Every structure is written in structure tokens, then in C-alpha cells.
Homo-oligomer: A and B are copies of this chain.
Amino acid sequence: MIVIMSPAADRDDINYVIERVKSAGLSAHVIEGEAQTIVGVVGTPIPPTLQENLETLPGVAEVVRVSTKFKLSGRDFHPHNTLITINPLNAPAGTPPVVIGGDQVAIIAGPCSVESEEQIMASARGIRASGAVALRGGAYKPRTSPYEFRGLGERGLEFLAQAREETGLAIITEVMTPSDVELVARYTDIFQIGARNSQNYLLLEEVGKAGKPVMLKRGLSMLIEEWILAAEYVMAQGNPDVMLCERGIRTYETATRNTLDVSAVPVVKKLSHLPILIDPSHAAGKRAFVESLSLAAVAAGADGLMIEAHPDPDHALSDGAQSISLDEFATLMPRLAAVANAVGRTLPISNVIAS
């Protein structure tokens, strides 16, 4: 930690800072510049409140934190990429595991909400045929207004499980509150934590204890640093299998529902060893932009995509405007594969075509 004194600070101010540092059991190194003095703080552990306490002392201009905050999620101490391997529950014999974070770009697709058995089975068959590795579908839906469709609940989970038994696709579905974790865990292969719950710390800890991979969406106005710290909450419970998912951030621009922060891909890869995926559908908010953002995400180096695809998007009960049809998904996949190849990654398209 470094304390930068203001040019107007006097000797007493500096001494008081030094004293406060020492009273915390740390040592203080003073550098006197031409205009300003700097106090370097050395030692461990640094009390969590020291920074803000020092910031308010007289004559202090700024306090800069030096040491990394990412104990488990940071790349500093864990240089290799995390690989997450998922064996879908009750999948047909011979179903290969899904690996996220490796050479293959993992494509997850499916409807926003589970609406019916027919809808979810049609979705699963369609995306499977096009090369997706996992099926998304919400059984519990957070909605901005209390008067909107909020999901089928456990029946929705049952339909997802049924789709997995037939297709071998891994299942990912959102869990919204700690008391639902146990129930959802009986069905899902991957927990999804939605953007609105990205700092619901008790929920993060609960899925951390549940022993299944977690996809953590970025909150609407979350700093990348805060997002990785949220992953740290899950990991601190002993669960290393966290993947991050960028889904657009809130900015002043209104031409898209959110602004896809595609830079999050290289930034996360620099700071952390965790896989990073992109959800182009929530970012775009409009179906017409999903292809372009999907291609950009793969080119940027994303480890996977989560795309909203629906058998009949014009009649979807939620997010229809940003969902593509299964035919559009089938057309998109080979284009994604071409870009993946261009950047040295693969998509499991050829297997699918062969099957």
C-alpha cells in the first residue's frame, strides 16, 4: 500500500501517517519527492480497513493499494487456464464430457425460459444437431415487473432433464435464491447465477458449497475486478469450477439493450485463469445483431457462447426479440466454426455433421 501525501502536507501529517501504519504492525518507508512525499507501507497482513482509514487523515492525497485481491481466481498465482469438465447427469452412454476453457469453443444455446415439454425438446434436438454442447433454459425467471411470466419451476427442471437424457446435452439453468440450490442441484449440470444476483453473496457461497460448476454472469454495472471477486466468493467455498459470462453492461447507448464489453475477454484472461464466455443475446437485445456479436466474441478469444435460440421466437414467452430461431442457429454455427478455426480454436461441428 502506498500513501501519497498532498503537496501541502507538513511534517506532522507525515509523522501521523507513519504512526498509524506502525500501530497496525506494519513498517513505513518514506520517499521524499521534490513536491510531495510518499509513504510505502510494507508488511502483512494489511487490515482491510487501513486504506480507507489512511485516506481520511490530514495531508493525505491518495492511498493506492498494491497487492492483488484475487487469491484463488488470479492468474498471478495460478498461471494455467482452468479447464472445467462436465459429465452430463444421466446422459446416454458414450456421451463425451463437455470441456470448457480448452481449445474447443463451447456453444450453449436454448430458450430464455422453459415453456413446455415440446418447446424444450424441439430446442434441444435442434441445437444438438447444429453442434451445441449444452442446453440453457430458465425454470425460475427474475423479471423486472412482478406482473410478467416467471417460469415453470420444478416442472421446467424436469423437462430440461428429459432433454438431457435424450440428447446428452449438458444442462445449465439459473438458481435465484439460496434455498433453491439443493433442488436445482438435483437437475442441473451447471448453475447459472444471473446478472441481478452477481453480488448476492449468500447465493454465491451456497452454490460454492454445492460442488457443481457455476457460470457467473457479470452484473449490469460490475467492474471486472468486482466480478472476479464474486467468483472468489464461490471459490472460497472450495469450488474451483467457475466460468465467467459477459452479457453486456449498462451504458448511455440505447441502440442495443446493453453494451457488449468484448474487451472483457482479453482483460479477464490477463487477470484470471477462469474461462470466459459471452452471451450475445442479452447484450444485443435484438435478434438482428446476435450473429455479428457472436462472431466477434469467438474472434476475441471467448471460451464459449451462450445464445438464446427458440423454436418459435415470435411467440416466445420471454426475450423473443433477442432469440434467434433454430434455423438461424444452424446457419450461424458453421460461421462460428470458421472464425474459431481462424483464431486457432475449434467447434465440434464436423462430429455433428457426421453423426
Contact = CB atoms under 8 A, between A and B. Distances in A.
Interface of A: 2, 4, 6-8, 29, 31-36, 38, 40, 42-44, 48-49, 52-53, 55-57, 61-62, 64, 66-69, 71, 76-77, 142-149, 176-179, 196-197, 199-203, 205, 219-221, 223-226, 229, 232-233, 236, 249-256, 259-267, 270-271, 283-284, 286-289, 291-293, 295-301, 313-322, 335, 338-339, 341-343
Contacts of A266: 288-289, 291-293
Contact of A53 (B49, B320, B339): B320
Contacts of A283: 263
Q: State how many copies of this chain the complex holds.
A: 4
29 contacts: A4-B64, A7-B76, A32-B42, A33-B43, A34-B44, A52-B322, A53-B321, A176-B202, A179-B179, A196-B199, A200-B200, A225-B255, A251-B261, A255-B264, A255-B267, A259-B263, A260-B263, A262-B262, A262-B296, A263-B284, A266-B292, A270-B288, A292-B300, A295-B300, A295-B343, A296-B297, A296-B299, A335-B343, A338-B343
Given A176-B201, A251-B261, 14 more contacts: A2-B38, A4-B64, A29-B31, A31-B42, A32-B42, A48-B145, A53-B315, A55-B321, A144-B226, A146-B201, A146-B236, A220-B221, A263-B293, A339-B343
Given A38-B40, A57-B314, A292 B265 contact: yes
Contacts of A319: 52
Nearest to A225: B255
Contacts of A225: 255
A225 B62 CA distance: 15
A94 B52 CA distance: 41
Nearest to A51: B321
Nearest to A197: B200
A105 B196 CA distance: 32
Contact of A199 (B43, B48, B56, B144): B144
A200 to B, nearest CB: 6
